[in-house]
Amino acid sequence: MTVLLPPSETKRAGGAGRPLDLGALALAASLHEPRERVVDALVALSADENEAARVLKLSVRQRGDIADNARLRGAATMPAIDRYTGVLYDALDAATLPAPARAWLARHVLIHSAPFGPVGALDGIPSYRLAAGTSLPGLPPLRRVWAPAVTSALREAAPTFVLDLRSEAYAALGPVPDGMRGAYVRVVSEGPDGATRALNHFNKRAKGELVRALALTRPRATTLPGLCAWAAANGWTMRGGSPGEVELVV
């Protein structure tokens, strides 16, 4: 099983890892070229602070993020799963997981970043500022840069099952190939009358808690029924939704 996670706008600063090595990231053979293009464009944009602030839609308080982008190739790194903060990653709390659970994350989790595409949970990345909907000067919209390459990379990786926890914006940057076994997760709540409604804040928290549970139990589910059976045995409610989707009921 491969779990696809979205990134987070908020990130931890610093790091103790070696500078970014695009060739060492997950799916390197398929994604090296678009990674080089996006990183180069983001670094070049950072040479003009005012233009960078405009393109990235940064407030005065956020302008320090431009310096992070300028240092992308030379800054210290940390594992992607530890770099991101926010509701999902706070709920996952990867730093407190035991070594076997972190090893499971390394084997099974990809985090879909805007500048690097999907990276492994323990791949070293620097701090940066770039959102899925940004159009960088000199490049097509990120969806056109990433989508064909990421879909092809997933096809070549051929995971047995894909659990897609990304937001719709990041799922658009790399659609799961047609015919690949998997499901897109919708987090819902169920009212007393049985009606369901989608969640926002609790959507992210539930996804983080779900991935933590997966890492701790390390299931071998390779089908949607198998995943739903694991969920039922571990205190979760997962059920089939619309075609290609699964509902996580919280």
Q: pLDDT digits over 40-66, tens only?
A: 999 999 999 999 999 999 999 999 999
What pLDDT was estimated at residue 201? 65
**Angle, CA 237 vertex, CA 233 and CA 239 arms, to 5°:** 110
Q: Quick check: is 1 in a domain?
A: no
- Identify the helix (H) or strand (E) that includes residue 8: none
The mean per-residue pLDDT over the stretch 91-98 comes to 98
Summarised one tens digit per residue, pLDDT across range 189-236 is: 877 666 677 766 689 999 999 999 999 999 999 999 999 999 999 999
Q: Quick check: is 146 in a domain?
A: yes
The strand pairing partners of 202, in sequence order, are none
Q: Quick check: is 156 in a domain?
A: yes
What pLDDT was estimated at residue 198? 73
Q: What's the pTM?
A: 0.95
What pLDDT was estimated at residue 147? 98
Q: Quick check: is 233 in a domain?
A: yes
| Overall domain count for the chain | 1
Q: Quick check: is 79 in a domain?
A: yes
What pLDDT was estimated at residue 13? 95
Q: Quick check: is 25 in a domain?
A: yes
Residue 149 has phi, psi (to 5 degrees) of -70, -40
Find the DSSP H helices in the chain.
Answer: 28-45, 49-56, 64-70, 80-83, 87-92, 99-108, 142-157, 168-171, 201-217, 224-233
Domain range holding 110? 7-249
What pLDDT was estimated at residue 200? 65
Q: Quick check: is 2 in a domain?
A: no
